[in-house]
Amino acid sequence: MTNGTPATASGEPASVRRKLVRAASRPVRTMLSTVPTRRLVVVTAILAPVWMASGTATGRAVAIFVSAALACAVVFDGFTLPARWQLEVERVLPDRVGLGDAAEGSYVLRVVAGRGLRVSLYDDLPRGVQADESRFGPHVVRTGTPCVLPVELLGAERGTWPLGRVVVRVDGWFGLLRHTFRWPMTDQVMVVPSMAGVRRYRLLSLHHRLRDLGLRTIRRRGDGAAFSGLREYVVGDEPRRIDWKATARRGVLIAREYTVEQGQTVILAIDCGRMMTQLEGDVPRFEYALSSAMLLADVATQSKDQVGALVFDDEIRAWAPATRGTAALERVHHAIMPTAASMAEPDYAAAFRALGERQRKRSLVVLFTDVIDPRSSQALIALTSRSASRHLLVVVALRNDRLLLAARPDAGASTSELYEAAAAEELVTAREMALARMRHAGVSVLDVSPRAMTAAVINRYLELKARASL
């Protein structure tokens, strides 16, 4: 034993022996990483007749000469292959990509010493991140001059995705041999709900072109509903604004002053249960709900409102307490990012119970869900009716466009298609009745397609805020 390190039978420390084994295996790994190129195969095929004609003394001499020349060329090509330290690779990609959005990135190759190199680059990207090109090359990288390879990333599946290693293949001087270098990297990309709508909303709002998004501008009326302070009464003030208690204390007429209320609270309640797993195109409807919720959160924070979020199925999956400003967006984002739609039935009772316990202040609650199952819709109707007296509730019911299309069969439909149409029509009718009962109970209901949901939700929010309904 030496310094606590076990010794082998030969008296050498085990750590030293492991280092010797690794050093001995490096040439083997290097040889396995070096492969012949297509050019070497073609050259060998062209020279094949020379070896076939080696039956005579002259042919044998020519074959030996050609074989020696080819072997020398291959050996020379092997010696001209660079070492790993001569090449640097950098992957420059954004930290976040919106689901379905495109983001620009690049790879930077540098030759720090030796000759210019002819390289091809490969990237082992995860399934949640797709690139327009996973293979770049071949490219000539000159010494001292960085070679920048642009790439466009596409967010394919929401989540945090560790990126794979980058592989670079380098050709020798004659292009007969190719060596492979692998760079394990620790960077990652987070695929988040699509933020393209947020950026577009902000851009159009700067140019006063919100109508391009389908948003209406609603003017405020009146002097506001939030108490601001007291001041002396002046001629022209409304008599109903007089504060008689303050007037009695001060001996002069005192009027109340009001301003338009800015500090409201918006809670985004998002159902991630079974019905939200249905696809709208290639994307689950839950993802459309998240994108619309994030855009509404951005608009609400720009309007000085507090924003929070609740995600639920048969249990509470995420909760972000209401807060104001950019911190609200970050908190909502971090809360909803780990969530995904599941096949569980949503427990509306648990969700409203948690909302009542955690958000006691009267708030605007925007519930993203779908009601098509009669039993679930009855429970939702009862809960929304009770909650309408405590909170201002907006139910965003995601319409199933394929179900509506199935309920209207073509004139020449077959018997099976007619049966399917009858079943679809029954579900559509039950859904419409459930939504009608919610509206009758005083719940604001938006029955919209997922693709047209964002503008409708923002319009309803702006309308309620302009009317000071909360």
Does residue 295 contact residue 454 with C-beta atoms inside 8 Å?
A: yes
Query: Does 2 fall in a domain?
Result: no
Query: Does 214 fall in a domain?
Result: no
- Same domain for 421 and 340: yes
- Same domain for 367 and 250: no
- Same domain for 298 and 241: no
Q: What is the CATH number of the domain that holds 160?
A: 2.60.40.10
- Same domain for 406 and 357: yes
- Same domain for 328 and 294: yes
Query: Does 46 fall in a domain?
Result: yes
Surface-to-core class of residue 403, CB atoms within 10 Å of its CB (0-12 exposed, 13-18 middle, 19+ buried)? middle
Query: Does 216 fall in a domain?
Result: no
- Same domain for 160 and 66: no
Q: What is the CATH number of the domain that holds 409?
A: 3.40.50.410
Instruction: Identify which of 82, 111, 83, 108 has the alpha carbon closest to the alpha carbon of residue 93.
Output: 108
How many domains does the chain fold into? 4
- Same domain for 231 and 110: no
- Alpha-carbon dihedral 170, 175, 178, 181, rounded to 10 degrees: -10
The CA distances from residue 259 to 246, 302, 336, 369, in Å, are: 19, 18, 34, 35
Give dist(CA 185, CA 167) in Å, integer.
11
Query: Does 422 fall in a domain?
Result: yes
The CA distances from residue 421 to 174, 309, 405, 411, 440, in Å, are: 69, 37, 9, 12, 28
pLDDT tens for the chain, residues 1 to 470: 344 444 444 455 555 445 444 444 444 455 557 888 889 889 888 888 888 777 777 878 888 888 899 999 989 988 888 888 889 999 998 888 888 788 888 999 999 888 888 898 988 888 888 887 666 778 889 988 899 988 888 888 888 889 888 999 999 898 899 999 998 888 899 888 776 655 555 544 444 444 554 444 444 444 555 566 788 888 777 788 888 888 888 888 888 876 555 568 999 999 999 889 988 877 889 988 998 898 889 888 888 889 999 999 999 999 999 998 888 888 998 888 888 899 998 999 899 999 988 988 889 999 999 876 667 777 777 887 777 778 888 999 998 888 888 888 777 778 787 888 888 888 888 888 888 888 887 788 899 888 888 888 888 888 887 776 66
Give residue 50's domain range: 31-77
Does residue 155 contact residue 161 with C-beta atoms inside 8 Å?
A: no
Query: Does 204 fall in a domain?
Result: no
- Same domain for 323 and 274: yes
Query: Does 249 fall in a domain?
Result: yes
Give dist(CA 141, CA 241) in Å, integer.
78
Give dist(CA 460, CA 41) in Å, integer.
68
- Same domain for 384 and 235: no
- Same domain for 123 and 38: no
Query: Does 209 fall in a domain?
Result: no
The CA distances from residue 453 to 265, 397, 460, 461, in Å, are: 21, 9, 11, 12
